[in-house]
Amino acid sequence: MKKFNRSSTFLLTGTCRGLTIILLLLISPLASRAQVPDAGVYSIWPGNDSQILNLDHVKGGQIFTNWKDLEPGNGVFDWARLDSDLALMNSLGVKASVQVNANMDDFPDWIFDSVAHGTLVSRSGPNNPEIIYPQFWDPLFLDHTKQFIDALAAHLKTSPYKDNVLLIRQNWNAVATEQYWLSSADQDPSLLTPTPSGHIYDVPYTDELAIAYSESIVDFHKVFLPEIPVAIRAFTKSGGWIAENREANIPSHQNLVDDGFWFYSTSTKPFEQNSELFAGYLEYTKPGLTVGYSENFANLTGLVDPDDTSVSREQGAYWEALWNMHRGVSFLAYRGDDLADPALFDTFEFANKYAGYHASPDVSPGAWIALRPAVINPNMQNRFPDYEWVDNYEFFISQVDPDNTSVGLTQAGPFPAKESYWSRQTNATDRMEFILNSEFRDAISGKDLSIRVAYLDEGLDTWSLLYENAGGEINLGTVAKMNTGLWKEAFFELSNADFIDSVKDLILFSEADGDDIFHMIELILVPEPLAGDFDRDGDVDGADFLKWQRGESPNPLSAPDLTDWQANYGTVAPQTATSTAVPEPGPTAILCAVLLVLMVCSRRGRDLPFAV
C-alpha cells in the first residue's frame, strides 16, 4: 500500500493532539518540524477516486455530499454515505476535505414545507436552469441550518475516522452554495412562494439581513473547532460582503483568525482576481497566522478564459501552484483529470516539496523565486487604484529593484513549456540581484547548497551566477548558451554557505549583451550525510558494515560508528530535505544483518558490541 494509515496509528484529539504535535515539532527531522501537517496536493471532483488518491503526488482527497442526503427528514440523519467515504480515506491512509452542498435541488425537500422559497429572475433564461432558494433570512431556516451543522459536528467528532477529516469546507447554502445575497432584481417580495401551509416570513430582504445571515453561518461553524478545522471563504469578513457593494466592505479578517478559522478560495487563475479577497491570504496565511486552502473550480484549460488555448495546461497548473505557495496556501486541490495528467506531475511534486513551509524559513527544504511581470486585473485596478500588484512569486528569495534591473516578459520561449509563460530579461544594467529571507539565510549558514537556475537558451553569449560573502562577490560558475531556443537548467554547488547580511546575496550577471532571460532561481539544501552510510551511497546496508569492519568508517572500528550503523540499518537517505522516508527493514533483512554481525564478530573472536 502506498501510504501508511495515519488514522489508525494517530488517533489523537483535543489537547492530546496539540501536545503531540508540539512534541513532534521538537523531535522530528527537517521535513516535519514546522511544515503545516499534511500540506500538499489534494484531489477534488472526484475526490474519492482511489486510483487518483493512490498517485504518489496526491496527499488526500475530498468528500462531497448534499444536505438532502444527510438529513432526509427534519432531524432525521443518514450518515451512511459520509461514513463510507471516510472509511475509504482511512483505508488509504489519507485525509479529505468535507463539503456539504445545498445547491438548488440539493436542499432537503422538507425545507420547503417549513420555509418559503424564491426564484432568481436575474439568472433566468433559456440556457440557465431555474434557481430556487429558501427564504434564508427567515429565523426558521437559520434554526434548521444550525440543527444540521450541530449534528454533523457531533457525528464527525465521535467518528472513528475523525482524523481523516482534513477540514470542513464552509458553504453558505442560501442562494445555491456560493451566495448569500440577492441582486436588486431578485429582491421583490412577490417573487417568494409561501409554504403549503401558507407560511412566509413577513420581513423583506435587505443587505443587512444577508450580512447577519453570513455572520450566523460562520458562528454556527465554530462548533467544529478546535478538533476539526474549518476553512471559511476568504472574502468573508466582519461586516459582511455584498457583491454589488464590495468596496464598502473591506474590514479586517482578524476576527476569523482569532476564532481559529482557516481560509479557502476557488480559482483557476495564477494571479489576483479580486484584491480584497487575496489580501486576506497575504496578510494572514503567508505569515502563518492561519492556514490556507485553495481549489480549482474548473479544469486547467487556461488562465483567463476556458476557451483560451494560447495558455497551456502545463503553464496554468504550474503558475497557479507557484501563486498559491507565494500567498501562503498549504493545501492545493486540483481536479482528478489534471492530477492524472503526466505532463503536470513535476508541478505537483514541486508543490508537495514546498507547500506548508511558507512561514517556516528556518526549516524549509529550500527557497525559490519565479520571475514574472506584474499582471494587473483592469477591473480591480479601476476599483482599487492604490492596490500594489504582485510581480515575482517569492519563497524566501526577493529580487532587488526588479523593474529597474530587468523586464518582465510573457510567453518568451517555446509553447507549451511552463517556464515560457512568464519570465524576466536582464536590461542594460547586465545584472539581477537577489536577497534571501534573513531567517532562511541564518538557517543555511555552514550548510551545502545546490542552486538551480532556469534560463532560456537563446543566443551564444554567457552568463554567470555570483554570490556575496565577506570576501565580496564570488563567481559560482559561468554558463555558455548554445542557442537551442529551449528552457534549460544550470546547477551550481555551494559548500559551507557563508552568506552575509547584505543588500544582495545572489547575482545573475550577463557577461555580454545583457539580454539573458531567466525564469527561476531555487536554492536546495543538500541533505547531510546519513549516519552509518560509510560508503556514501545513500543508504545504510551490509556494505556499510563491511566498511566499518575494515576500519573505513570515520572513527575506525569504534563502537559509536557501529551504533550509527545499527540505528540506521535499512534507512535510505532523502533525495531532498522534504523526504524523510525511513522504511523498516523486513524480517529477512534483519535476519541477514544479524547473521552477518554474528559471522564477522565470531570470526574476529570478539564479543558482540551490542545486544541482538
Position 432 pLDDT exceeds 50: yes
The gap from C-alpha 164 to its chain's centroid, in whole angstroms, comes to 17
Q: Residues 512-540: what's their mean pLDDT?
A: 85
Distance separating alpha carbons of residues 90 and 378, to the nearest angstrom: 46
User: Is the overall model pTM greater than 0.85, yes or no?
Assistant: no
The rounded percent of the chain whose pLDDT value lies above 70 is 78
Q: Residues 520-548: what's their mean pLDDT?
A: 86
Position 577 pLDDT exceeds 70: no
Residue 132, pLDDT score: 87
* 433 vs 211, higher pLDDT: 433
Phi and psi of 467, rounded to 5°?
A: -135, 155
Rounded to the nearest 10°, the torsion over CA 440, 443, 445, 450 is -60
Residue 580, pLDDT score: 31
Q: Residues 135-157: what's their mean pLDDT?
A: 97
Residue 299, pLDDT score: 66
* 495 vs 571, higher pLDDT: 495
Domains and CATH numbers, the chain: 6-360 (3.20.20), 378-525 (2.60.120.260), 542-604 (no CATH)
Mean pLDDT of the chain: 82
Position 480 pLDDT exceeds 70: yes
Phi and psi of 419, rounded to 5°?
A: -70, -25
Residue 155 burial by Cβ neighbours in a 10 Å radius (0-12, 13-18, 19+): middle
Position 592 pLDDT exceeds 60: no
Position 149 pLDDT exceeds 90: yes
Residue 442, pLDDT score: 95
Q: Residues 548-571: what's their mean pLDDT?
A: 89
pLDDT band at residue 96, thresholds of 50, 70 and 90?
Answer: very high
Residue 514, pLDDT score: 67
Nearest by Cα to 74 from 103, 99, 107, 108: 108
Residue 183, pLDDT score: 86
Grid look-up 482599487 returns: 384
The pLDDT tens digits of the residues spanning 36-73 come to 999 999 999 887 899 999 999 999 999 999 999 999 99
Q: How many CB atoms lie within 10 A of CB 37?
A: 15
Distance separating alpha carbons of residues 52 and 340, to the nearest angstrom: 7
Residue 244, pLDDT score: 40
Residue 612, pLDDT score: 24
Position 458 pLDDT exceeds 70: yes
Distance separating alpha carbons of residues 485 and 414, to the nearest angstrom: 7
Phi and psi of 247, rounded to 5°?
A: -60, -30
Position 208 pLDDT exceeds 70: yes
| Under 8 Å between Cβ of 13 and 156 | no
The pLDDT tens digits of the residues spanning 305-329 come to 555 557 788 998 999 999 999 999 9
For the four alpha carbons of 4, 6, 7 and 10, in that order, the dihedral sign comes to positive
* 599 vs 343, higher pLDDT: 343
Beta-carbon contacts of 611 under 8 Å, excluding residues fewer than 6 positions away, are: none
For the four alpha carbons of 546, 548, 552 and 554, in that order, the dihedral sign comes to positive
Residue 90, pLDDT score: 97
Min mean pLDDT across 23-27, 233-237, 567-571, 586-590 is at 23-27
Position 106 pLDDT exceeds 70: yes
The pLDDT tens digits of the residues spanning 242-286 come to 444 433 343 457 888 889 999 998 876 766 655 556 667 888 899
